[in-house]
Amino acid sequence: MAQERTTRPRAQERTGLRGLITSRAELEASDERRESRRVGCTEVAQLGDRQRAQVSGVLRSVTLRARQNVPALEAELYDGSGSLRVVWLGQRRIAGIEPGRRARLEGFVCLQEGERTMFNPRYELSARAAE
C-alpha cells in the first residue's frame, strides 16, 4: 500500500506562505496593534463616541489649520486598527509632534464630521531610536 501524500500544507508551511502573501502594510498594522495592546491602550477601531480613552500609535501626518479663526494643530494617529484625528486648539506647533513619531494620548473621543477625534489630549512621546 503506497503511502498517501497529503496536499494540505502543514501549519509551519502555512505560516511561511502567509508571510509571503501578507503585504508589508498588513504586517506593520499587526505590529502597531500588538504594541498598542502591550502598553494597555484601547484600539482606535474600538473607540465609541463620547468616550475617555488612552491610545497609542504613530503620528502619520501633522498639519496646521485654522478652526474658526483659531490656529489648530491637527495630527493623524494610526494604531494598526484605524486612525484617530487629534486636534490641539490654539497651537501652531508642539515640540516633538511630527510625522513618524510614536505617541501615547489620553483624552475624550468624539465623532466630529464622521471621524473619531480627540481634542487637546494629554500626550507622551516615545523616544526615537537614536535618542
Q: What was the pLDDT predicted at 53?
A: 95
> For the chain, what is the mean pLDDT?
83
pLDDT in tens, 69-118: 889 999 999 998 999 999 999 999 999 999 999 999 999 999 998 999 99
The average pLDDT across 39-67 equals: 91
Neighbours of 118 (CB within 10 A): 26
Question: Percent of the chain, pLDDT > 70?
Answer: 80
116 neighbors 77 (Cβ within 8 angstroms): no
Strand 122-125, strand 115-119: pairing:
unpaired
Q: What was the pLDDT predicted at 63?
A: 96
DSSP 39-83: TTPPPGGG--SSEEEEEEEEEEEEEEEEETTEEEEEEEEE-SS-E
User: What pTM did the predictor assign?
Assistant: 0.75
**130 or 47: whose pLDDT is higher?**
47
